[in-house]
Amino acid sequence: MPSEENKLLPLRQVPAAELAKLAPPRQLIKTEDDVHAWKHTRGYQDYGLFLRRLSESVVGHVLPWSSPTSHPAVEATLRLLSALDRWIDEIPPLPTPQRFGNLAFRTWGKRLEDQCDALLASLLPHEFHPAIPHVSPYLLTSFGSFTRMDYGTGHETSFALFLLCLALIRFYDPEPAVERELVLTVFVRYLRLCWRLQDVYKLEPAGSHGVWGLDDYSFLGYIFGSAQLRDQTEIPVSAVLRPPLPPTNLYFLSISRIHEVKYGPFHEHSSQLYSIATGVQYWHKVHSGLFKMYEAEVLSKRVVVQHLPLGGLIEWDAPEAPPAGSSPAEAAERPATPPTPTQSPRALPGAATAAMAPPAPPPLDVRTVAPTVGGPFAQHHPAGLGVAAGPRTAAALRQGGPLVGGALVLGPTANTSLRPVSRGPSSSSANVPPHHPRPGLS
């Protein structure tokens, strides 16, 4: 399947002269209506395009990555992450009895809060210093909550937004070679730093769905890793069931991390990933399904995105919320307000849940071609359309069903289509239980 980099729109640029006119980002999402509004904003569209560009840049490339060209901005970012890593050695964990959340993590976080502006001043050339108030909130929330002493997909998203902000002001040039570096060197280094923070300070998973979640801590590694594997056919999706896995892509790297921190049969502690491995045949379907799952299970969840700083560079230009008490039918009858000459049209993802009314106007895609399923996170490979998000991902991928929104029940009462048919042998080395096909899922 050919690369689609040339079909992606360029990332917009925010000139340095405009930074003084922007308000610093702050937490703007308080209600479900705010979540719906956030998905209408230019910032949301920019983020979707940015993730798509990052994913396309790594298709067919493997780890460990060695760039043939030196990129000073990337090297400076790696030095910043290495400095934060050294702080862990300088702030050892305290001998406390808690199972989760060593209090020394708050000391590490306090140092980051105190030195954040200085770190960014050393990272950015002088002409970019007016952007520091706009990017520092994202860096501060990229490594976990210093109050709750936990880490989750919202903190990972904050780091991705941090990278997006620096690309918008052109500290990073949004071209494939640099975007590839951001994934295969910067994001990998960030993941390893976060894994060390989790291990040393015993950080609790933030909002974990347990066995029914994709991963206790992160998500983007699976999206980027499946992009690396998307167009090849030598490595099947089911290869993840045969550890040890070579660290040649972020998908394998993320699953190897699970094997380091969890014990027991893989199909029991990671049923979502197991179901994908046994039920989805092609990597491009895995990749498109994970994009939609990320949109539904992370970006559409108020408990996750309410902690994200928004506004400023991540533009919050949401339309006014519908009047309180209006029904979806009444909202649907109201005509959509056309964009003004100074307001760029925005793509509205087609994966809105039933609880998120009113329906969005027809979507505009981040590509130059019109999609079948809209939104900045939609994938448009012919065989990859109509994949589900949430707990029914693998089943709907096999059936080719429509996108399932984010209003699904997670946890012990979740849909049982991902539960293994057999618990399998009790030995922890048995990762593949006996498989009996169900009607409609073969």
Tokens of 378: 């939609």
b vs e for 411-425, b when ≥16 Cβ sit within 10 Å of the residue's Cβ? eeebeebbebeeebe
**For 204-246, what is each residue's pLDDT tens digit?**
998 765 555 788 899 999 999 999 999 999 999 999 999 999 9
Long-range interactions of 114-118: CB distance < 8 A, separation 24+: 116/140
Pairwise CA distance, residues 387 & 97, whole Å: 44
CA dihedral sign of residues 155, 200, 116, 253: negative
Which pLDDT score is estimated for 241? 95
Average confidence (pLDDT) over 85-98? 93
**For 334-372, what is each residue's pLDDT tens digit?**
444 444 444 443 443 333 333 333 444 444 344 433 333
CB 94 within 8 A of CB 202: no
Which pLDDT score is estimated for 68? 84
DSSP per position, 92-150: PPP----SS--THHHHHHHHHHHHHHHHHHHHS-GGGGGGHHHHHHHHHTSS-BTTTTE
CA triplet 160, 309, 341: central angle to 5 degrees?
A: 90
Q: What is the DSSP letter of 9?
A: P
Pairwise CA distance, residues 143 & 22, whole Å: 25
Find, among 102, 59, 109, 103, the residue nearest to 84 by Cα.
109
- Mean pLDDT check: name the lowest of 80-89, 125-134, 190-199, 409-418: 409-418
Asked if residue 402 has pLDDT above 80, the reply is no
Tokens of 47: 């983020």
Pairwise CA distance, residues 299 & 287, whole Å: 17
Which pLDDT score is estimated for 333? 44
CA atoms within 13 A on the CB side of 229: 28
Residue 64, preceding peptide bond in cis (omega within 30° of 0): yes
Domains of the chain: 5-299 (1.20.120.1150)
CB 351 within 8 A of CB 389: yes
Q: pTM score, two decimals?
A: 0.75
Phi then psi for residue 146, to 5 deg, are -80, -15
Tokens of 120: 């960014």
Long-range interactions of 84-90: CB distance < 8 A, separation 24+: 84/112, 84/143, 84/193, 85/193, 85/196, 87/111, 87/112, 88/196, 88/197, 88/200
Q: By three-state DSSP, how is residue 249 classified?
A: coil
Which pLDDT score is estimated for 378? 56
Q: Which amino acid is residue 322, in one-letter code? A: P
Mean pLDDT (the chain, rounded): 78
**For 110-167, what is each residue's pLDDT tens digit?**
999 999 999 999 999 999 999 999 999 999 999 999 999 999 999 999 999 999 999 9
Q: By three-state DSSP, how is residue 158 classified?
A: helix
- Residue 338 Cα distances to 314, 319, 362, 376, 386, angstroms: 22, 11, 12, 19, 28
